[in-house]
Structure 1
Amino acid sequence: MRAAEASSGLLHVPNPLPDAPLRLIGVPYAGGGASVFTGWHTGLPDIELAAVRLPGRESRFSDPPHTRMGPLVADLADGIAAAADRPYALFGHSMGARVVFEVARRLRTLKGPQPRYLFVSGCRAPHLPLRPPTGHLTDAEFVQELRELGGAPPEFFAEPELVELLLPMLRADFAVLESYDYTAAAPLDIPVRAFCGDADPHVSPAQTAAWSEHTSSRFGLTRLAGGHFYLGEQRAALLSTIRDDLLHRPGAPTPGP
């Protein structure tokens, strides 16, 4: 994948498939990295998976993390456009969902290569308000907020030195979300499928269904068992739905709740 390799390490391809007709590009949630998508390629045997490496973590730990949505979207859109050597789709969970939505809108404005499909997960529709801001919280209060969200295992919080090391990156990601200022524009003309956990305390099915307002093409809503971070336990069902959508399989789920 020479084009992606030239994009400053932005995309990690765990299992290159040079003959695959499609590529799925995944953007992680706040605090997450390319490792969020570990193992996903096994559920997408005929689709190449590319996981986004955001600055401030993993192999890009020394790169300053973004703290504003605009620059993050601009950088990611440029990198994806440079790597678009075949049709592609975008997937984002939580923060990543708003990022991929804005990336698609930016590429449309720039007349760049548009994604074939947009998959958004664990995120309220972009015109709806976010959770209360966290920028005013002390470190202890912010860490407690992370605990309640459930995105990190208990072992993470048992390592105070690790928490302290990663805290600037985590705060930066939350600042990205809190800097987001939705601007109304014409709906995208690409299909959108929105996923939500049926027990997610932060994002309701109705808030997920509201993504339908942002496409003039097909829309589907899929509810999977689990909370906000249902991705691990429901990976097989999630990837099966994505694969069916991308390959236009006759048995693909009917759009709707």
Structure 2
Amino acid sequence: MTTPQIRELVPETPYIWRAKQPAATRRLVCFPHAGAGAAAYADWAALLPPQIELVAVQLPGRQNRIAEEPFTEVDVLVDVLVHALRPVLDLPCAFFGHSAGAILAFELARALRARGRKAPEQLFLSAQPAPGDSQVRMLHELDDLDFSTEIFALGGLDPELLEDEDVLDAMLYTLRADFTLFERHRIEPGAPLDCPITVLAGDSDPRAPLDEVRQWQEHTRGPFAAEIYHGGHFYFLDSPTEVVSRLAAAMLTPATLGGVA
């Protein structure tokens, strides 16, 4: 009897963690939210079908790169990722980005197109308002107490981490750096992408008002869909199987995408 292969998300290069899947015909490249590392997607490897290989982007300042300083400009980070992710863009792929990761996924897709490189077939943008004026409160200029209060209210943090003061300080440092990075960034006007965009959000997420999330429709000429889940900013932690199944179905049957939920 053959023992099933355990797909584990492991570091491959400084920027790439991959759960190797020899039978894969497509890749799902995931961009983590503020303060998080590639391991935020570790559980997804076992939930994806064998046709889809999981790749997660690892940025400086977290997990095995904790000693490195975070980036201070999104454009510089995108330029680095254009080259750093070349080894995993040889197969048809989709990008998934949660919150700040959605901005990074979108900007990278535009940068690949501008450089004549192979761009993602689909974009999945999670818990992030579309570019433009937003009612969402900026956090990066808050004092330490107010900033930490807002972050804890969003959830998504391992309670055990909060008990270690050194770990907590390091985490808040990276979180503030990421919020500063992405809240200061302005997405420049440009031609809409051609690939389908699917947005995902929690119905009670204060960081992603549904009317602002749905405005991503203006940034694609392709099909657009909205998937709304019960929950807050980290809705996908409550229903990972449902979310991953939805992504996989869309990647394997792209022709069925379309329509606004």
TM-score, structure 1 normalization = 0.90
Aligned equivalents of 1:169 and 1:75: distance in 2? 19
AA partner of residue 44 (structure 1): L
- Please state how far the C-alpha of 1:67 moved relative to its aligned partner: 2.2
- Please state how far the C-alpha of 1:82 moved relative to its aligned partner: 4.1
* Two-structure CA RMSD over aligned residues (Å): 2.1
- Please state how far the C-alpha of 1:38 moved relative to its aligned partner: 1.5
> What is the DSSP-based 3-state SS (H/G/I as helix, E as strand, rest coil) of the residue aligned with 2:227?
strand
Aligned equivalents of 2:103 and 2:257: distance in 1? 24
Gaps of at least 5 residues in structure 2 are 1-9
Aligned equivalents of 2:180 and 2:207: distance in 1? 18
Aligned equivalents of 1:254 and 1:38: distance in 2? 29
Does the alignment pair 1:114 with 2:119? Answer: yes
Contact 2:202 2:231 in 1 (8 A): yes
Moved more, 70-79 or 208-217: 70-79
Contact 2:196 2:257 in 1 (8 A): no
AA partner of residue 207 (structure 1): E
> What is the DSSP-based 3-state SS (H/G/I as helix, E as strand, rest coil) of the residue aligned with 1:194?
strand
Aligned equivalents of 1:179 and 1:86: distance in 2? 33
> What is the DSSP-based 3-state SS (H/G/I as helix, E as strand, rest coil) of the residue aligned with 1:227?
coil
Does the alignment pair 1:126 with 2:170? Answer: no
Contact 2:198 2:224 in 1 (8 A): yes
Aligned equivalents of 1:137 and 1:52: distance in 2? 28
AA partner of residue 42 (structure 1): A
**Other-structure match for 1:230:** 235
Contact 1:194 1:208 in 2 (8 A): yes
Moved more, 197-206 or 105-114: 197-206
- Please state how far the C-alpha of 1:254 moved relative to its aligned partner: 5.7
> What is the DSSP-based 3-state SS (H/G/I as helix, E as strand, rest coil) of the residue aligned with 1:38?
helix
Does the alignment pair 1:147 with 2:171? Answer: no
Contact 2:11 2:18 in 1 (8 A): no
Cα deviation 1:172-219 (Å, max 9, x = unaligned): 111111221121101000011100111212212211111110000011
**How is 1:235-254 mapped onto 2 (pairs within 5 angstroms)?**
235-248=240-253
Contact 2:224 2:257 in 1 (8 A): no
Aligned equivalents of 1:180 and 1:108: distance in 2? 20
**Other-structure match for 1:42:** 46
Identity %: 34
> What is the DSSP-based 3-state SS (H/G/I as helix, E as strand, rest coil) of the residue aligned with 2:235?
coil
**Other-structure match for 1:208:** 213
- Please state how far the C-alpha of 1:249 moved relative to its aligned partner: 7.1
**Other-structure match for 1:18:** 22
Going from structure 1 to structure 2, the CA distance change for 1:91 and 1:249 (only over 3 Å counts) comes to closer
